[in-house]
Structure 1
Amino acid sequence: MDLLSLDTWLLPPHNRLSLHQVHRLVPVATIARGNRAARALTPADSSHEAELSSVALAPGREATLLEFLEMTNTDAFIVLRGDQVLYERYFGDYTRESRHIVMSVSKSLCGMLAGILVEDGLLDLDARTSMYVPELENGSYGGSTVGQLLDMTAVPDFDMTYTNPLAEVQAGDRSAGWRPRRDDDADGTRAFLERLQGSGGHGSAFQYCSATTDVLAWVLERAAHMPYARLLETKLWQNLGAEDDAVITVDNHGTPYACAGISMRLRDLARFGRLILDGGRIDGRQIIPREWISTTAGGGDFDTSDDTDPTPGTYRNQWWVPGGSHGSFYAAGIFGQYLWLDPSTGITIAKFSSEGDPLSHGSEHRNALQSIASNSAGWSGTGDRSEGKDK
């Protein structure tokens, strides 16, 4: 059987190949990098990478960083402090030039884009979703607000069980062209969104739902009068110093799959994270509003823990906020995609993976990434510890 097929690309072991070959399976739109020079990243001393590979990730644990990366089917991994690459590793046939789909990390780009439109006076967080998208008036999302979309407190009837063929999340995938279509599937992502129903108790609880991000992207398009891929391109991608174009999958109508469909290089994901840790500013230009970043890192109103993942935390503006003294917040996608930001140490970590299960090692990733940030913070970049420096 062809490893690159819609029937199998989201299943192990096929996903090890397919997650960086999505453009061969699903149509994509380009998010062009533009003409600005790429943000330069400088290497640390090579001895640091070797020593960090052997560091235990947490007190009392024997697993080292390298063992953790291998255990979690890592495809590519990078640690930055400022513009300095403290650690970078590629596995299998992945290289610095490989693009990898980031899955639901895509949601977090949408969240930062929303903040830019708010600052531009184009988006009202208190406005009803249907004010921007009248097509949703009679569905579940019609009575929600833009702010509720951002914080995942809109509550449609939606099953997010990735492995259940009867779940709405798989129906959404099929409508987006990610899986073979069935006769009764909606004709494209937005027809699928219009079909969704629900209780309408928006704002009363946290409900993580991929469709909510696709609704948010539709709202952003209407607010800015610009296609979503073009919005990402002009407001974010062309301004952060990316070294390559990104791409986003589109359905048969050209509608982007904003909740999960972006592919990019590892270093460009790290550059996006670096822009955020720099308060949204690069080369003297304010790209993302600083206040929006602070609000995001401050977390949301509802605990996101549940029976499958009891770890406490909140969600704000399409980002996960675990709490704790480091003030970390992060973006995450199925099969082990992560962008971890630690404001207290100035550490950015980006990780591409092809895990065997969509939700494998969630708590282990959080613990390990925080530990890696803590272990990396004191390095001088010459292979020596320098406690407290550059924090």
Structure 2
Amino acid sequence: MKKPLLLTAIVALTLASVHAAPLHEAGLAQAQPEDANVDSRELVRLSQWIREQKLDVYSLLVVKDGKLIFERYGAGASRDSNYELYSVTKSVTSMVAGMLIGQGKVSLDDSVATLASWRPDLRADFADKRNVELKHVLSMSSGLHYDFKPKDDPIYYTAPDRLKLAAKTNPKAAPGSQFEYTDINPILAAAMLSAAAHEPVERYAQANLFGPLGMKHAVWERADRSGLVSAGWGLRLRAVDMAKIGMLVLDHGRWQGRQVVPQQWITQMTSPGVAPYFGYYWWINNIVQREPEFDAMGFKGQFITVLPERKTVIVMTSVMSVDGGLRDAKNLQTFRQMVNDYVIPALDNAQHARPSKERRDALQHELAVSAHTSGVPGTQVDPTDLPKL
């Protein structure tokens, strides 16, 4: 009898904290799913399925019509936790690039070779890269080759100067001729944007994006010894702040009436480029194929998915299996299943979205249970993967 009583007490305490938690500090309005014409029963089923499958999901959020209608956290995570976003960092970088372009500080046609004036010691290494431009770096079509095969590749871990490694790469294809997803590109992007901003890219992002949008605990880590971060990984944001990135896409770069990212850039970065499924560091119809959809995705299962026609943003942070290819990893397949089999049916079920105390209680009970449930990591958990405050 003690265990059920203990669980009941835990659920009651968590319910109280869920109801009491103010959302004004996050800059997002909050609503019950049914108030937004969304069927909460499907979302409850999704949360139960995550627990049954023992998936290591730290956070899962749904924003509809600008309101946070579903906010689920697993054990050890909370609204104030930030998470290693891995390659979702690239998508945020793209927004920063658009801001600098809009300010006239850099151009898509600027050559990587201009970095020679920023790093004169690498002038000779950049000499063969005059035709590689910012647009090629942002669209993963620079044509530069780097050997990623060595174990514990220094470009991710121990390189004291990542830009030097990137500068020494050799062209293997004409810039703009083919898509190849390589993490050499975001290193070059970080350097080009830092040079254009006349300050580290993470400092510019804090002053012009993270700060204005009220992003608490935003931090860009894992700089090399020269002080350069990668534009491809290392950014840590809260899930609610990841949702704001998606909302910027939904609202054409505006936040609470203010144009933060140029509207033209939002269109450009989410339009197909060299690859039909990739724009400027944003994926296109990678999660949902039967309607317009844009997404940011990161290693081990980090996602921001934007459904423009439904005015919906879906966010997830997790540690799930990385088995499979770039566009078909197991964590990607699992997230597709979540969105297509549960979230979209919840959105489609407007005629059955009837508010009731029973549904509210069922949802809050499930969220409370989930908050005390740990999943099983689908791959190795590194210290950087853990939620932090």
Q: TM-score, normalised by structure 2?
A: 0.73
Q: 1:37 to 1:137 in 2, by over 3 A?
A: farther
- The amino acid of 2:29's aligned partner reads L
The reply to whether residue 316 of structure 1 matches residue 303 of structure 2 is no
Q: 1:200 to 1:137 in 2, by over 3 A?
A: farther
Aligned positions, number? 317
The reply to whether residue 44 of structure 1 matches residue 27 of structure 2 is no
- Write the mapping of 1:334-373 to structure 2, written as runs, cut at 5 A: 334-357=299-322, 359-373=329-343
Root-mean-square deviation (CA, aligned residues, Å) is 2.9
Q: Deviations over 1:357-388 (max 9, x none)?
A: 36433234235334545234346699539xxx
Q: Displacement, 1:236? A: 1.2
Q: 1:142 to 1:248 in 2, by over 3 A?
A: farther
Aligned twin of 1:128: 111
Structure 1 spans left out of the alignment, 5+ residues: 1-35, 56-63, 176-185, 304-313, 386-391
- Write the mapping of 1:225-240 to structure 2, written as runs, cut at 5 A: 225-240=198-213
- Alignment check: 8 A CA contact 2:33 2:40 kept: no
Q: 1:143 to 1:93 in 2, by over 3 A?
A: same
Aligned twin of 1:151: 139
Q: Deviations over 1:309-349 (max 9, x none)?
A: xxxxx211101112744210100011000010110101101
Q: Displacement, 1:268? A: 1.0
Please say which structure displays the higher CA radius of gyration. Answer: 2
Pick one of 77, 81, 85 that aligns with 1:102: 85
SS of residue matched to 1:351: strand
- Alignment check: 8 A CA contact 1:329 1:341 kept: yes
Give distance in 2, aligned partners of 1:263 and 1:49. Answer: 31
- Write the mapping of 1:374-389 to structure 2, written as runs, cut at 5 A: 374-378=344-348, 383-384=353-354
The reply to whether residue 78 of structure 1 matches residue 61 of structure 2 is yes
SS of residue matched to 1:173: coil
- Which range moves more in the overlay, 253-262 or 105-114? 253-262
Give distance in 1, aligned partners of 2:75 and 2:244. Answer: 23
Q: 1:141 to 1:362 in 2, by over 3 A?
A: farther
- Alignment check: 8 A CA contact 1:269 1:339 kept: yes
- The amino acid of 2:175's aligned partner reads H
Aligned twin of 1:275: 248
Find runs of 4+ consecutive structure 1 residues off by over 6 angstroms: 46-49, 379-382
Q: 1:327 to 1:49 in 2, by over 3 A?
A: closer
Give distance in 2, aligned partners of 1:248 and 1:157. Answer: 25
- The amino acid of 1:172's aligned partner reads I
Give distance in 1, aligned partners of 2:341 and 2:213. Answer: 27
The reply to whether residue 291 of structure 1 matches residue 291 of structure 2 is no
Q: Displacement, 1:91? A: 1.0
Give distance in 2, aligned partners of 1:113 and 1:241. Answer: 16
- Alignment check: 8 A CA contact 2:34 2:353 kept: yes
Give distance in 2, aligned partners of 1:249 and 1:89. Answer: 28
Give distance in 2, aligned partners of 1:209 and 1:89. Answer: 33
SS of residue matched to 2:99: helix
Q: Displacement, 1:352? A: 0.4
Aligned twin of 1:13: none
- Alignment check: 8 A CA contact 1:280 1:288 kept: yes
Q: Deviations over 1:4-58 (max 9, x none)?
A: xxxxxxxxxxxxxxxxxxxxxxxxxxxxxxxx96413313159978512355xxx
Give distance in 2, aligned partners of 1:248 and 1:149. Answer: 21
Structure 2 spans left out of the alignment, 5+ residues: 1-23, 324-328, 356-389
- Which range moves more in the overlay, 128-137 or 208-217? 128-137
Q: TM-score, normalised by structure 1?
A: 0.73
- Alignment check: 8 A CA contact 1:111 1:318 kept: yes
Give distance in 1, aligned partners of 2:303 and 2:78. Answer: 18
Q: 1:346 to 1:300 in 2, by over 3 A?
A: same
Give distance in 1, aligned partners of 2:115 and 2:224. Answer: 21
Structure number with higher helix proportion = 2
Q: 1:45 to 1:329 in 2, by over 3 A?
A: closer
Q: Deviations over 1:227-251 (max 9, x none)?
A: 1111111221112232443343222
